[in-house]
Each structure stands twice: as structure tokens, then as C-alpha cells.
Structure 1
Amino acid sequence: MPFRPRTAVSGAILATAAVLLCPAAAVARPAAAPAPPGWSAAPAPGAGARPSDRDRPYFYLAGAPGTVMNDRLSLRNPTGRAVTVRLRGTGARIAFADGEVRVPPRTRAAVPFTVTVARDAPPGDRPAALIATSRGTGDGAAGRHTVPVHLRVTGPALAALTVENLSVRDRGEAAVIRYTLVNRGNTVLTPRLAVRADGLFGPVLRRAVRTLPGRLAPGQSADLTETWAGPPALDAVEVRLTATADGGAHGSATASYTALPWGAVAGPAVLLAAGAGGLVVVRRRRRAQGPEGERGEPVASAAGGGRPSEGERAGPAAELAGSGAGARS
């Protein structure tokens, strides 16, 4: 190919102009180094082990009532300044060797702590956590980390469930069944419920066993309701609730419910009121009239049938006067 000097000169001139107009494009600048991540908290690796991606994501501790268990929390500070971290525990009796730790730059600190299981603690799972916070200033200095602690109290499990405060009340054309479920055991329960009602003439309500929403922790209670649409209008009913859960938990309760329409109640009540009112009127009239002949003429004697004579009216005084005159003669 023949050499073209005019073309080469033009290319050189254009390249020189590009360098002069855009010096940043010609000189490559190194990329800025990313800021180091902030401090972090995590379960410490085993004794003598180096931290790795296989470290524990949470603490798991198990012990009988009265046991004191030990472990370590790892605080990592990759930043260029020291960080002061405050430590506390929730959900269990957790104590740190030091509640406030200063972690130097680009170091890792392992902080010992203990978890004490109360002597009267019932067996079962206990959720807990370690909380680390820092209010420092600067990149990565401030922050909060929560490390879960899965605590299990060992011992025999007891599943117990009771149904309490059962009542049935009218609500318009329906009835409302109110009750309370109480977890009397030491394990978490998922209750199941069955409802039945029997009247004078046979069953009036049947609800098969179904699992209720939610769970009950040991010692926890829940106030619940059941809506009964279309209960009988005239009947005496016994309502029974039966609650069950895994582990053999079983509880039941009964309540009475009497359904009476307004007409059935108002009719006898009106008749009784009318009868009572008539009886009161009769008694008042008898009291106003009094005994027979009390306001009429004097009652005649049985012998004469008329009024008494003058001699009869004189009575014993006249007899005494006559006998006196005869005595003088």
C-alpha cells in the first residue's frame, strides 16, 4: 500500500488535540479504595479455631434447671478507629464479663458470658438474644447487632390444657360462645377445638375438631369466641367445648343455655299479673265491708224475736229492789 503522508499527519493532529482537550481520558486514575465495613457481632468460633464462613449463626445452649452455661461473643472491628460496644442480654439470665468493651482498630475481641437456668424453670425452649450497640461517630462506628440465643431447658415435658370461663349469650338471631384456653404445662401448644350442644330433644350443634390459629406458650392464656348461627328458639341446651393438643393435653367445660322466645315468656307473665291483680281487688273489698251486721240494727234475741220489754230492760237492778221491799214486811 502506498504511504500517504497527508493522512498520517492528519491522524497525529487529531490525536494531539484529543489529549489536550481531555487530559483525564489520557491519564488513568486508580479507583478509590472501598470503605471498610463496620464492626459486627457473632458467636465466637471454637477454642483454637480461626473464624470462617462456617461459624455458628446463633448460640444453642441446653441445660437442666440450675445449670450455668458459658460461651463467647466475637466482636470484629475492621475499621481504622476504635469502637466502644455496649452489651446486654434479653429473654434469659445472661451476664457478661464486661458490659462495655472497647475494640481497637482492625482487631477481633472475644467476650465471655454466662447463661443461668433458674432452678424452678420448667422444661422447654426459651428464646433469648445478645444485643450489642455502639453510638460512635464515623464510618462503621455506630450500629446495632442482635445475635439469637436458642436456650433449651432440659427435663420431662408436660402438656396440659384447660378450658375456663365458658358462657353462652344471645346476640340477635345468633348466640356467642365465650371461653378461655390456658396452657398449664411446660411446652408450647397448638390447641384443637371441638364444639357440641345437646337439647331436650337431641343434638342441636356439632362442630368437628379443628386446629385453632396461634400457639400457647407455657402459662399463657387466650380469650376466644365461637359464633353459633341459628340456635334453637325454644330449648334447654348444654354446650360442651373440648380442647386437645399434642402430648396428650386435654381439657373440656360445659355451660347451660336456655332459649325462650318473647311470646312464650310474655304470655304466662301477663296471665300471672292479671290473676294477682284480681286477687288484690277481692281482698280489698272484703276488708272494706267488714263482719256481717256490723253497721245494721241490733241483733234480736233468739227467744222473742223482737225488741226486749221494759222488765227485760230493767234487768238485775229491778229484781234487787223488789226483794228489798219484801224483806221489810
Structure 2
Amino acid sequence: MRTVWAGAGAAALALLGAVAVAPAPGWTAAPAAGRPYVYLEGAAGSVLQDTLSVTNPGARPLTVRLTGQGARGTRVVLAARTVTVPARTRADVPFAVTVTADTPPGELRGAVRAAADGRETLVPLHLRVSGPRLAALTVEDVRVDRSGTLHYTLVNRGNTLLAPRLAVRADGALGRRLVDRPERPLPLTLRPGERAARTEAWPDPPALDSVTVRVTATAPGAVPATAAADTVFASAAGVGAAAAALLGVSGATAYAIRRNR
């Protein structure tokens, strides 16, 4: 029994020694008041403020570099880019989030990056931009060039992000449907006030015809927008074929008249 107790005592002493020499927990950066993330809410054009807490549990001073990462339409400005925290001390660093006047209502994400001693940590920023949502989309500058390529511009006239969808239709002079492309999503997102000039290929335009092209754009919450353009296709081959057809008709008519005589 004496041997067993001796072994247990040695193990306990070894455990205590390990605890005594264990490194102190590393530094931390987090929202003040122990919150898991920063939550801010305000209207477009406002400046929102909060505080970041940097804790140094070590036995020596620690210098931490801070960088704000704002979402699109926002800017994060810290009171200091670097902060030196004394040993076993916490430093509180104020910061502000500026929301630009054209930022649409909705949820945004950002972060504050803290770096020291070869390690980085991100403090999440959750931002809610308040205000009524207005979805408005227009189609402008519709035209068709000589190669048959369709040109148009989409404009976001509202205050919220838009994911447009597009449909294209083209009708000939005699009412014949030449193009009928159903509505489909486009690979772009429009910010408020943003314009996007785009093109649509028309691989087989008519050789000779007067055409009306209609472009219709839609987006969730927005009224469908339609714009049209008229164009005339008159290729050399098309004109030649038409002239030949007319000459053929004229010749047949003249022959019929002579025969009747």
C-alpha cells in the first residue's frame, strides 16, 4: 500500500507541475459586454457606433493590429489601427460603421480583423439597414445593329438590390414571330442607381424585313419593364433575292398580258 500511495503522490505532483507550467490562455478580441457578435441597426446615411474589447491575459504587453472590413455600401473606422494592451489587462477600442446614403435596406455583414503574435481573429458585424424597400427596374437604349446583335441597358431605379430576368421577342413586318426567348435569369445583380449595358446575339436575323424587337425585364417586387426598337434588315443577298422575285413576277405578268392579247 505504501508503494501505491507513493506512486499516486508522484502522479499528483506531476499533474500539479504540468498545471503550473501550462501556458496562459491566448489573447482575445470580441464585442464589448461579452456578446457573440456586433449587431447594429440604422437607416442609410447614418453612422453607427460600438466597442471592441481586446483582452491580454499574458505576462507581457501585447500589440494588436485592427482592420475594419465593411460590407458593400459601408465603411468601418476604428479609433486606433493598433492597440498595445498591458499584461493581464483589457483594452476597449471604439469603432464606427458609416452607411452610405445609397445603401439599400436589408441585412449586411462585415467584420473587424484583429492580428497579433502570428494569429488572427474575426469579430463578426451584423448590420441591418432600415427603411422601406422600393424595387424599380427600367429597360433603356434598345437597338439592333447591322449584324443582328441586340443592345440594351438595364437601370435600377429603386433602393434595393435587383436580380433581373429577361425576355426577348421580335416580330416581322407581316406579323411573323422571328424571336421568342422566354424569361430567364441574368448573371448579374444591380445596386440602386446602377446601370448595366448588355447585348443579346441573334444568330440568324432575316435577310430582308422590317422588325420590331421588344425587351422585357422583371425582378422580384418590381413592375415589369418593356422597351422596343424598330430596325430594317436589308442584306445584299436579301435585296437581290427580292429583286429577282419582283423581276420574275413582272416577267410572268408581261407574258400573261401578251398571251391574252
Mark yes or no: TM-score above 0.5: yes
Aligned to 1:161: 137
Aligned to 2:66: 87
By how many angstroms is 1:208 displaced? Answer: 1.4
Aligned to 1:242: 216
Indicate yes or no: 2:60 matched with 1:60.
no
- Cα distance in 2 for residues equivalent to 1:256 and 1:95: 52
By how many angstroms is 1:160 displaced? Answer: 1.3
Indicate yes or no: 2:82 matched with 1:100.
yes
SS of the residue 2:237 aligns to: helix
Letter in 2 for 1:228: W
| Mapped contact 1:123–1:156 kept (Cα < 8 A) | no
In structure 1, the gaps of 5 or more residues are 1-27, 46-50, 135-139, 270-329
Larger Rg: 1
Closer, same or farther: CA 268–227 of 1 in aligned 2, 3 Å? closer
| Mapped contact 1:89–1:131 kept (Cα < 8 A) | yes
- Cα distance in 1 for residues equivalent to 2:127 and 2:99: 9
Q: Which has the higher strand share?
A: 2
Aligned to 1:42: 30
Aligned to 1:191: 164
1:107-122 pair list within 5 angstroms = 107-117=89-99, 120-121=101-102
Letter in 2 for 1:201: L
In structure 2, the gaps of 5 or more residues are 1-13, 244-261
Q: How many residues align?
A: 224
| Mapped contact 1:194–1:242 kept (Cα < 8 A) | yes
Letter in 1 for 2:43: A
Closer, same or farther: CA 257–145 of 1 in aligned 2, 3 Å? farther
Closer, same or farther: CA 263–132 of 1 in aligned 2, 3 Å? closer
| Mapped contact 1:39–1:141 kept (Cα < 8 A) | no
Bigger RCO (CA 8 Å, 6+ sep): 2
| Mapped contact 2:102–2:192 kept (Cα < 8 A) | no
| Mapped contact 2:166–2:218 kept (Cα < 8 A) | yes
| Mapped contact 1:68–1:116 kept (Cα < 8 A) | yes
1:75 to 33, 50, 54: 54
Letter in 2 for 1:84: T
- Cα distance in 2 for residues equivalent to 1:249 and 1:66: 27
> Over aligned residue pairs, what C-alpha RMSD do you find?
3.3
- Cα distance in 1 for residues equivalent to 2:153 and 2:144: 13
- Cα distance in 2 for residues equivalent to 1:40 and 1:195: 56
- Cα distance in 1 for residues equivalent to 2:65 and 2:220: 42
1:148-297 pair list within 5 angstroms = 148-171=124-147, 175-202=148-175, 203-265=177-239
- Cα distance in 2 for residues equivalent to 1:193 and 1:164: 13
Closer, same or farther: CA 224–141 of 1 in aligned 2, 3 Å? same
- Cα distance in 1 for residues equivalent to 2:60 and 2:206: 77
TM-score in terms of structure 1 length = 0.57
| Mapped contact 2:207–2:238 kept (Cα < 8 A) | no
Letter in 2 for 1:42: A
1:301-312 pair list within 5 angstroms = none
Letter in 1 for 2:201: T
CA deviation string 1:29-77 (max 9, x = no partner): 98797766653433233xxxxx4xxx42x42311134544332212233
